[in-house]
Protein backbone atom coordinates (compact mmCIF):
# COMPACT_ATOMS: atom_id res chain seq x y z
CA UNK A 1 0.00 0.00 0.00
CA UNK A 2 1.51 3.31 -1.09
CA UNK A 3 2.39 5.73 1.65
CA UNK A 4 -0.10 8.47 2.13
CA UNK A 5 2.79 10.83 1.79
CA UNK A 6 3.95 9.44 -1.59
CA UNK A 7 1.52 11.51 -3.60
CA UNK A 8 2.49 14.70 -1.88
CA UNK A 9 6.23 13.83 -2.29
CA UNK A 10 5.81 13.61 -6.07
CA UNK A 11 3.95 16.88 -6.07
CA UNK A 12 6.66 18.43 -3.95
CA UNK A 13 9.39 17.22 -6.29
CA UNK A 14 7.52 18.37 -9.37
CA UNK A 15 6.94 21.70 -7.76
CA UNK A 16 10.61 22.02 -6.84
CA UNK A 17 11.59 21.07 -10.38
CA UNK A 18 9.21 23.62 -11.82
CA UNK A 19 10.51 26.32 -9.54
CA UNK A 20 14.10 25.34 -10.43
CA UNK A 21 13.37 25.44 -14.15
CA UNK A 22 11.58 28.75 -13.76
CA UNK A 23 14.47 30.18 -11.80
CA UNK A 24 17.02 28.86 -14.29
CA UNK A 25 14.94 30.21 -17.15
CA UNK A 26 14.77 33.58 -15.47
CA UNK A 27 18.43 33.54 -14.44
CA UNK A 28 19.80 32.46 -17.81
CA UNK A 29 19.80 35.94 -19.37
CA UNK A 30 21.34 37.30 -16.21
CA UNK A 31 24.01 34.58 -16.34
CA UNK A 32 24.74 35.39 -19.96
CA UNK A 33 24.95 39.08 -19.15
CA UNK A 34 27.44 38.29 -16.41
CA UNK A 35 29.54 36.09 -18.69
CA UNK A 36 29.50 38.82 -21.34
CA UNK A 37 30.40 41.50 -18.84
CA UNK A 38 33.36 39.66 -17.37
CA UNK A 39 34.75 38.56 -20.75
CA UNK A 40 34.09 41.61 -22.89
CA UNK A 41 37.54 43.15 -22.44
CA UNK A 42 39.61 40.06 -23.21
CA UNK A 43 37.33 38.93 -26.02
CA UNK A 44 37.33 42.45 -27.47
CA UNK A 45 41.13 42.52 -27.50
CA UNK A 46 41.25 39.20 -29.30
CA UNK A 47 38.65 40.39 -31.83
CA UNK A 48 40.75 43.46 -32.54
CA UNK A 49 44.05 41.55 -32.67
CA UNK A 50 42.68 38.91 -35.03
CA UNK A 51 41.10 41.55 -37.23
CA UNK A 52 44.35 43.48 -37.47
CA UNK A 53 46.33 40.30 -38.07
CA UNK A 54 44.03 39.38 -40.95
CA UNK A 55 44.33 42.86 -42.42
CA UNK A 56 48.13 42.82 -42.04
CA UNK A 57 48.32 39.43 -43.71
CA UNK A 58 46.12 40.55 -46.58
CA UNK A 59 48.11 43.76 -47.04
CA UNK A 60 51.40 41.83 -46.96
CA UNK A 61 50.19 39.37 -49.62
CA UNK A 62 48.95 42.21 -51.78
CA UNK A 63 52.27 44.02 -51.43
CA UNK A 64 54.20 40.85 -52.27
CA UNK A 65 52.14 40.35 -55.41
CA UNK A 66 52.46 43.94 -56.54
CA UNK A 67 56.10 44.47 -55.56
CA UNK A 68 57.82 41.09 -55.20
CA UNK A 69 60.92 41.36 -53.02
CA UNK A 70 62.54 39.35 -50.23
CA UNK A 71 61.35 41.94 -47.71
CA UNK A 72 57.76 41.60 -48.95
CA UNK A 73 58.00 37.81 -48.76
CA UNK A 74 59.29 38.06 -45.19
CA UNK A 75 56.33 40.25 -44.32
CA UNK A 76 53.94 37.62 -45.70
CA UNK A 77 55.59 35.07 -43.40
CA UNK A 78 55.25 37.50 -40.48
CA UNK A 79 51.60 37.99 -41.42
CA UNK A 80 51.03 34.24 -41.43
CA UNK A 81 52.56 33.86 -38.00
CA UNK A 82 50.52 36.83 -36.82
CA UNK A 83 47.36 34.89 -37.64
CA UNK A 84 48.12 32.68 -34.65
CA UNK A 85 46.26 35.24 -32.60
CA UNK A 86 43.08 34.22 -34.46
CA UNK A 87 43.47 30.75 -32.97
CA UNK A 88 43.42 32.35 -29.52
CA UNK A 89 40.27 34.18 -30.58
CA UNK A 90 38.59 30.98 -31.79
CA UNK A 91 39.45 29.03 -28.65
CA UNK A 92 38.27 31.83 -26.41
CA UNK A 93 35.03 32.12 -28.34
CA UNK A 94 34.35 28.39 -28.04
CA UNK A 95 34.95 28.62 -24.31
CA UNK A 96 32.38 31.38 -24.09
CA UNK A 97 29.93 29.16 -25.95
CA UNK A 98 30.60 26.41 -23.44
CA UNK A 99 29.64 28.89 -20.76
CA UNK A 100 26.29 29.39 -22.42
CA UNK A 101 26.72 32.30 -24.80
CA UNK A 102 24.96 32.01 -28.15
CA UNK A 103 26.00 33.44 -31.48
CA UNK A 104 23.79 36.48 -30.95
CA UNK A 105 25.56 37.39 -27.68
CA UNK A 106 28.97 36.79 -29.25
CA UNK A 107 28.01 39.00 -32.18
CA UNK A 108 27.00 41.68 -29.73
CA UNK A 109 30.33 41.40 -27.95
CA UNK A 110 32.17 41.67 -31.27
CA UNK A 111 30.18 44.73 -32.22
CA UNK A 112 30.90 46.35 -28.89
CA UNK A 113 34.60 45.63 -29.42
CA UNK A 114 34.52 47.02 -32.94
CA UNK A 115 32.63 50.10 -31.82
CA UNK A 116 34.65 50.49 -28.65
CA UNK A 117 35.89 53.90 -29.68
CA UNK A 118 32.34 55.14 -30.14
CA UNK A 119 31.12 54.42 -26.63
CA UNK A 120 27.99 56.49 -27.20
CA UNK A 121 26.98 53.98 -29.87
CA UNK A 122 26.95 51.07 -27.45
CA UNK A 123 23.28 51.43 -26.64
CA UNK A 124 22.44 51.70 -30.31
CA UNK A 125 24.40 48.54 -30.96
CA UNK A 126 22.56 46.69 -28.21
CA UNK A 127 19.18 47.79 -29.50
CA UNK A 128 20.22 46.82 -32.98
CA UNK A 129 21.23 43.36 -31.77
CA UNK A 130 17.97 42.70 -29.86
CA UNK A 131 16.01 43.20 -33.05
CA UNK A 132 17.65 40.08 -34.49
Partner 1 sequence: MAAILATSACSDQPTPTIQRERDPSPASDHMRLGALRRAVTANGFVRAADLAVPVDSKQREAGKLIFASPLMSINGSISCRDCHLEQFGSADGLPVAVGVGAKGSGKDRLSGGGQIVPRNALAFWGRGSRGFDTFFWDGKVSARNGRVVSQFGKDAPSDDPFVVAMHLPSVELREMVDDTPQVEETLVTESVNSANRIQNALAKRFARDPVIGPHLAGAFGVPATAITFNEVATSLAAFIRDEFRIRPTKLERFVFDAGPLTTSELNGGILFYGRGKCVACHNGPYFSDMQFHAVAFPQMAFGKNGFGIDYGRYNVTFDPEDRYKFRTPPLFNVTKTAPYSHSGSVPTLDKAIIAHFDPLRLLDTGKMTVRQRADLYARLGPAAREPLPSALNADDVSELVAFLGTINF
Binding stretches for partner 1 (CB under 8 A)? 45, 48-49, 52-53, 56, 71, 74-75, 77-85
Q: Please count the other Cβ atoms lying within 10 Å of the Cβ belonging to residue 122.
A: 14
3 state SS of 47 = helix
Q: What are phi and psi of 77, to 5 degrees?
A: -60, -40
Of 54 and 107, the one with the shorter C-beta distance to partner 1 is 54
Residue 81 CB, nearest distance to partner 1 (Å)? 3
Of 47 and 101, the one with the shorter C-beta distance to partner 1 is 47
Q: How far apart are CA 105 and CA 27, in angstroms?
A: 16
3 state SS of 19 = helix
Residue 125 CB, nearest distance to partner 1 (Å)? 22
Residue 40 CB, nearest distance to partner 1 (Å)? 15
Amino acid sequence: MPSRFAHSRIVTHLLALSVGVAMAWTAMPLWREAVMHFNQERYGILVEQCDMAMQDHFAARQEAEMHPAPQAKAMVSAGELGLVTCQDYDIYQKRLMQWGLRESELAQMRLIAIEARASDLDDVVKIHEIQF
